[in-house]
Amino acid sequence: MNIPHIFNKRNRILLAELTKTDFKLRYQGSVLGYLWALLRPLMMFAILYIVFAKLLKFGSDIPHYPVYLLCGTTMWSFFTECTSQGIQAMVVRGDLIRKISFPKYIVVVSATLTAVINMLINVVVIIIFALINGVEFSFAWFLIIPAIFELYILSLGIALLLGSINVKYRDITSIWDVCIQALFYAVPIIYPISLIAESSIAAAKIILINPISQAIQDIRYLLITNETITTWDYVGEQNFFWKLLPIIITIAIFIIGALVFRKKSKFFAEEV
């Protein structure tokens, strides 16, 4: 994967066209069409809110917990959509890969950018919901952009790594679906991290070292309430390295994914 190639005019046009096509095809034939970009995370939020907030009384000590939960479910949906679509992208676009010569990473990037479009639409909904819920506007809201970008780079790295393997071994898609289910409970989306800290501080710190947890908690901190426990003020008080570990992991996964993808991309046309 050669990053400068992204700025090539021909590749930019191809990337834009593939992204638009992916976005249109995803909702083609459905009655509600593009509304599903909003409805999926909102429906997931509604179910989780009723079960965990109303019935199990989670989050009673967290300010603006409904917004807190909506933010978590939206970012989680973004991560799962980005990785799942990216992993399958090479197989889905198999005919195109065999017929045309172009940088293969464009297929994966276009699939993940479709998830970015959906996420941006939902961020607007989160902001509206936050204002209605009484969250005061702050210029700190603009600082969520680096956190979202970090989550995207992590997702893209995973998509490149597993997507390149999935071309030959299609079991990867099913394995990743199982991993996603496990990760859902390993990330503080439903429960506050303080609940884990009450039982085990070490377990809470391990969870916050996860780049997904770190990014989501940072977004909540900046967008909703500064009472949110983040990696920066909770992990490795005496060791700055532990605070940077989620970012180091993200960069490492992206680099490894890009290198593996570049190596295997030579054989995609034969294997897909």
For 20-62, how does the pLDDT look when each residue is reduced to its tens digit (9 = 90+)?
A: 777 766 666 554 555 666 667 777 778 877 877 777 677 677 8
Residue 95, pLDDT above cutoff 70: yes
Q: Please answer whether residues 219 and 78 qualify as being in contact, where contact means their C-beta atoms are separated by less than 8 angstroms.
A: no
How far is residue 166's CA from residue 158's CA, in Å, rounded to a whole number? 12
Residue 218, pLDDT above cutoff 90: yes
DSSP 137: P
The structural domains of the chain, with segments of one domain joined by +, span 3-271
How far is residue 254's CA from residue 264's CA, in Å, rounded to a whole number? 15
> What are the tokens at 69?
């939960």
Highest-scoring range by mean pLDDT, 5-14, 22-31, 262-271: 262-271
Q: Report which residue type is found at 46.
A: A
Tens digits of residue pLDDT in 108-127:
999 899 889 888 888 988 89
Residue of 172, 163, 171, 175 whose CA lies nearest to 264: 163
Residue of 116, 103, 111 whose CA lies nearest to 75: 116
Q: Please answer whether residues 217 and 208 qualify as being in contact, where contact means their C-beta atoms are separated by less than 8 angstroms.
A: yes
How far is residue 241's CA from residue 43's CA, in Å, rounded to a whole number? 39
Q: What is the mean pLDDT of residues 146-154?
A: 96
User: Which pLDDT does position 234 carry in this prediction?
Assistant: 83
How far is residue 256's CA from residue 272's CA, in Å, rounded to a whole number? 22
User: Which pLDDT does position 190 carry in this prediction?
Assistant: 85
> What are the tokens at 215?
């990014």
User: Which pLDDT does position 32 carry in this prediction?
Assistant: 54
Q: What is the mean pLDDT of residues 209-216?
A: 95
How far is residue 49's CA from residue 133's CA, in Å, rounded to a whole number? 15
Cβ neighbours around 132 below 10 Å, total: 10
What is the length of the chain?
272
> What are the tokens at 247?
């970012």
- Choose the weakest-confidence range: 88-92, 97-101, 218-222: 97-101
How far is residue 221's CA from residue 228's CA, in Å, rounded to a whole number? 5
The pTM (predicted TM-score) of the whole model is: 0.88
